[in-house]
Amino acid sequence: MSQGFSIELYFDPALENQVLKAWNVLARRQISTQLIEIESRPHITLFSSPFLDPPKLESVLKSFASKQGPLPLSFSSIGTFPNDKNVIFLAPVPTMALLQFQAQLFEAIKKEGIEIGEGFEADSWIPYCAVAQEVPKTRIAEAFCVLRELKLPVSGYAMDIGLVEFSPVREYFSFELGNAVEA
């Protein structure tokens, strides 16, 4: 049964591999394997909602993606949220380009009458790329130490935008930024 949907921003292969390296190191240390198990792909979540209509969103995302170009990203720090999900993430530098990208997408979706989950409004959205989920509390400090070994910042580009249902992750569609052809 679906837990929800999310619109995700995907990376160029080199940046994606840097994130996968973090996932694999944490998996080898048996700190967290959840993202690998649910067949996720490294990404920044732009929006998430328990209920979305994929066919309605497809044209919105296709049109939006065609008007954008690759988006520069630089993950410069490691963080976590103060909740029980024990997510550890890489945080991108919150550039004006990244924040505007998400805000413009929010407006395009809102204009179609599509409801978006809480925390994704332009003034409250926190961009992040999960590298571990459901980390045991007793291993969070260890996970941070392991991730500090990554040579941050890691930089690259966001290249695609897609809609997935989770969990496990199932991609409905994705579009290359700057190209109206389905990726």
Specify the pLDDT at position 2: 64
Cα distances from 163 to residues 64, 112, 160, in angstroms, run 13, 16, 10
pTM, full prediction: 0.91
Domain residue extents for the chain? 4-176
What is the pLDDT tens value at each position of the chain, 183 positions in all? 568 899 999 999 999 999 999 999 999 999 999 999 988 999 999 998 888 889 989 999 999 999 999 999 999 999 998 888 899 999 999 999 999 999 999 999 999 988 777 788 888 999 999 999 999 999 999 999 999 998 899 999 999 999 999 888 899 999 999 964 443
- pLDDT, position 172: 95
CATH number of 4-176: 3.90.1140.10
Q: What pLDDT, on the 0 to 100 scale, is given for residue 82?
A: 84
Task: For residues 142 and 69, give the distance between their C-alpha atoms in angstroms, rounded to a whole number.
Answer: 38
CB contact set of 29 (below 8 Å; sequence gap of 6+):
142, 146
